[in-house]
Amino acid sequence: MGKVAANMKIMPHSPEIDLDELQERLEASLPEGAQINGFERDDVAFGLVALLPTVIVADDAGGTEVVEDAFAEVEGVESVAVEDVGRI
Amino acid sequence: MSDKLHQNLAIIGHVDHGKSTLVGRLLYETGSVPEHVIEQHKEEAEEKGKGGFEFAYVMDNLAEERERGVTIDIAHQEFDTDEYNFTIVDCPGHRDFVKNMITGASQADNAVLVVAADDGVAPQTREHVFLARTLGINELIIGVNKMDLVDYEEGKYEEVKDEVTDLLNQVRFDTENASFIPISAFEGDNIAEASDNTGWYSGDTLLEALNDLPEVEPPTDAPLRLPIQDVYTISGIGTVPVGRIETGTMEPGNNVSFQPSDVGGEVKTVEMHHEEVPSAGPGDNVGFNVRGIGKDDIRRGDVCGPADDPPSVAETFQAQLVVMQHPSVITSGYTPVFHAHTAQVACTIESIDQKLDPSTGEVAEENPDFIQSGDAAIVTVRPQKPLSLEPSGEIPELGSFAVRDMGQTIAAGKVLEVNER
Ligand SMILES: Nc1nc2c(ncn2[C@@H]2O[C@H](COP(=O)(O)OP(=O)(O)O)[C@@H](O)[C@H]2O)c(=O)[nH]1
């Protein structure tokens, strides 16, 4: 089975959230089998900054769903979206 | 970056039919393998006293190397032909990624479908073809791969070609927009040069076919459609909806409407990358504020559009879908969750109107009692909560959906017609 890279977009609850800490919480929440290769940040608007982790998951059952669910539970996360996926 | 015209090219097909090998081959033949991989090979070859740059080496090292990459670029490889600069998206095989491809940001313009000559049409071949159809892929180049494994037999090639043609008919993909090429990704036949092994074939090589693809159509002149991802209250500013513009443009002063919440107002400011902009267009991630809109007036899943050409809200809609997997059968009354743009809404399949014939694409059965895995059908759907959608013939970006139930993606489809509420 190949591996898939997913570009995820995490929006924080508010512009006041500390992004370094949020990043750590996201890393800690990662389900087994998935891996975060790196984080980018995207300035959106009015002080809101999105975190864009590149997450590697296996190309088999479940897709990105388990990671999305885990991230959605993390304190300070407003929403989780998958922007882009591709096999590596 | 090159100044050539750009295309996003999807590589689709069943697992193990040779997609990665073909991607590697395309990079290799077009001289797009990263310089340091070539350098590294030279060093190793010198140590071992071997010469020549081998394709096998590229395959071994590219994957390993990409796995260590830290940005999404690892999934996007590029190569050039005379006409075009291609970005390749090697599509995940598993159907659970279908939702991502439907709600994702980048759209492939054209696709190469890889079908192994020794295996023919396999389950993911089917799913990917339907996906390509749903996502609005214009042209399909079918690489009948692993021809070396079937001794480059014309009969075998024709057999697979017929099978794939049947499949295309089933999902009503215009076969005039499909071309077939016998290839071996591994050996390099008919990729950059016409192969001596397939004397019976006189058509284009794969790179010629890619170079001859029509130019990507310019973005539609569709009106503004901006699915709302999140809604914030920012101190000193007020309510700020955030999302990615799918079609059209947004400018301060525009009068906009949010559907299905059915509220509207005048756009005051639009920000992108933390800067105020005079105008934002397709693909832009924006935050904006609208006079008179409160945080509780709008929500995720709303679509923002011009007040005089507002997003459609479906009372019911007719759609073409393909059932990718379902443990039993689907009958009218079934109510799974539909994922379209940023919305997730439970919808009832109110009637199954037509089942399509696998070999001809014609209507096989009117009002069938049920459909099951592998079937393509036209259905009428009733959202259980208001849902904004557009016919895919008018605004494809807002016209496709994935259907999920029991933690799995069970179907994908596109909207044919919206009966507005
Ligand atoms: N003989 C032969 N083997 C091939 C060819 N293309 C791919 N393969 C082999 O088929 C297997 C699966 O290929 P891969 O590219 O990983 O398939 P993917 O899952 O579709 O990406 C690998 O062992 C490849 O070496 C081909 O043209 N000829």
* Residue percentage of chain A with pLDDT more than 90: 66
pLDDT value for B169: 85
Cα separation of B370 and B227, whole Å? 33
User: Any CB–CB contact under 8 A between A69 and chain B?
Assistant: no
Angle at B265 between CA B260 and CA B266, to 5 degrees: 135
Q: Which residue has the higher pLDDT, B407 or B253?
A: B253
Detail the residues of B annotated as belonging to a binding site for Mg(2+): 20
Is B95 within 8 Å of B64 (Cβ atoms)?
Answer: no
**Contact (CB<8Å) A42/B285:** yes
For residue B73, which phi and psi values (nearest 5 degrees)?
-55, -25
> DSSP of B298-334, one letter per residue?
--TT-EEEETTSPPPEEEEEEEEEEE---SS-B-TT-
SS (H, E, C) B178-192: EEEEECECCCCECCC
Give A11 to chain B, closest Cα distance, Å: 8
Chain B residues touching A15 at Cβ < 8 A:
234
Report the complex ipTM. Answer: 0.89
**Chain centroid to CA B225:** 19
**Statement: residue B349 has pLDDT above 90:** yes
**Statement: residue B1 has pLDDT above 60:** no
Identify the burial level of A73 via C-beta atoms within 10 angstroms of its C-beta, where 0-12 means exposed, 13-18 middle and 19 or more buried: exposed
**Statement: residue B344 has pLDDT above 80:** yes
pLDDT value for B76: 77
**Statement: residue B19 has pLDDT above 80:** yes
Out of B67, B101, B103, the one facing A88 most closely (by C-beta) is B67
Confirm or reject: Cβ of B317 under 6 Å from ligand 1: no
Chain A residues touching B242 at Cβ < 8 A:
11, 44-45, 48
pLDDT value for B421: 82
The enclosing H or E element of B26 equals: helix B19-29
Identify the burial level of B51 via C-beta atoms within 10 angstroms of its C-beta, where 0-12 means exposed, 13-18 middle and 19 or more buried: exposed
Out of A11, A46, A59, the one facing B271 most closely (by C-beta) is A46
In three-state secondary structure terms, B28 is helix
The domain tally of chain A equals 1
pLDDT value for B161: 96
Q: Specify the amino acid at residue A38.
A: G
Out of B105, B273, B274, the one facing A83 most closely (by C-beta) is B105
* Residue A68 per-residue DSSP state: H
Confirm or reject: Cβ of B63 under 6 Å from ligand 1: no
What's the mean pLDDT in B204-211?
97
What's the mean pLDDT in B21-42?
84
Give A86 to chain B, closest Cα distance, Å: 5
pLDDT tens digit sequence for A16-70: 999 999 999 999 999 988 999 899 999 999 999 999 999 999 887 668 888 999 9
**Chain centroid to CA B246:** 14
For residue A81, the domain's CATH number is 3.30.70.60
What's the mean pLDDT in A67-83?
94
Chain B residues touching A81 at Cβ < 8 A:
103, 229, 342
pLDDT value for B48: 72
Q: How many CB atoms lie within 10 A of CB B99?
A: 23
Q: Which residue has the higher pLDDT, B325 or B114?
A: B114
Which domains, and CATH codes, for chain B? Answer: 5-211 (3.40.50.300), 226-306 (2.40.30.10), 313-420 (2.40.30.10)
Mean pLDDT lowest among A68-82, B78-92, B148-162? B78-92
Chain B residues touching A50 at Cβ < 8 A:
285
What's the mean pLDDT in B3-30?
90
Confirm or reject: Cβ of B17 under 6 Å from ligand 1: yes
Is B380 within 8 Å of B364 (Cβ atoms)?
Answer: no
The rounded Å distance from CA B150 to ligand 1 centre is: 14
**Statement: residue B218 has pLDDT above 70:** no
pLDDT value for A61: 65
Confirm or reject: Cβ of B149 under 6 Å from ligand 1: yes
Q: Which residue has the higher pLDDT, B133 or B161?
A: B161
The enclosing H or E element of B22 equals: helix B19-29
Residue B315's pLDDT band (cuts 50, 70, 90)? very high
Residue A1's pLDDT band (cuts 50, 70, 90)? low
The residue whose CA has the least distance to atom 8 of ligand 1 is: B18
**Contact (CB<8Å) A2/B342:** no
Q: Which residue has the higher pLDDT, B255 or B99?
A: B255
Task: Looking at the CA of residue B93, tell me the nearest atom of ligand 1.
Answer: 19
pLDDT value for B129: 86
**Statement: residue B220 has pLDDT above 70:** no
Residue B195's pLDDT band (cuts 50, 70, 90)? very high
Task: Looking at the CA of residue B13, tell me the nearest atom of ligand 1.
Answer: 20
pLDDT tens digit sequence for B138-188: 789 999 999 999 999 999 999 999 999 988 887 778 888 889 999 999 999
Confirm or reject: Cβ of B16 under 6 Å from ligand 1: yes
Most confident range (mean pLDDT) of B171-175, B227-231, B391-395 is B227-231
Is A32 within 8 Å of B65 (Cβ atoms)?
Answer: no
Q: Which residue has the higher pLDDT, B362 or B253?
A: B253
pLDDT value for B256: 97
What's the mean pLDDT in B7-35?
90
Chain A with chain B: Cβ pairs closer than 8 A: 144
Confirm or reject: Cβ of B18 under 6 Å from ligand 1: yes
Which of B15, B16, B66 best tests ligand 1's pocket when mutated (most atoms within 8 Å of CB)? Answer: B16
**Statement: residue B379 has pLDDT above 90:** yes
Residue B294's pLDDT band (cuts 50, 70, 90)? very high
Helices (H), ranges, chain A? 19-29, 65-72
Cα separation of B157 and B290, whole Å? 59
pLDDT value for B290: 94
pLDDT value for B219: 64
**Contact (CB<8Å) A42/B68:** no
Confirm or reject: Cβ of B390 under 6 Å from ligand 1: no
pLDDT tens digit sequence for B264-286: 999 999 999 999 999 999 989 99
Cα separation of B337 and B344, whole Å? 6
What's the mean pLDDT in B334-345?
96
pLDDT tens digit sequence for B51-67: 556 787 777 777 777 77
The rounded Å distance from CA B52 to ligand 1 centre is: 22
pLDDT value for B2: 57
The pLDDT mean for chain B works out to: 89
- Give me the domain span that covers residue A10: 3-87
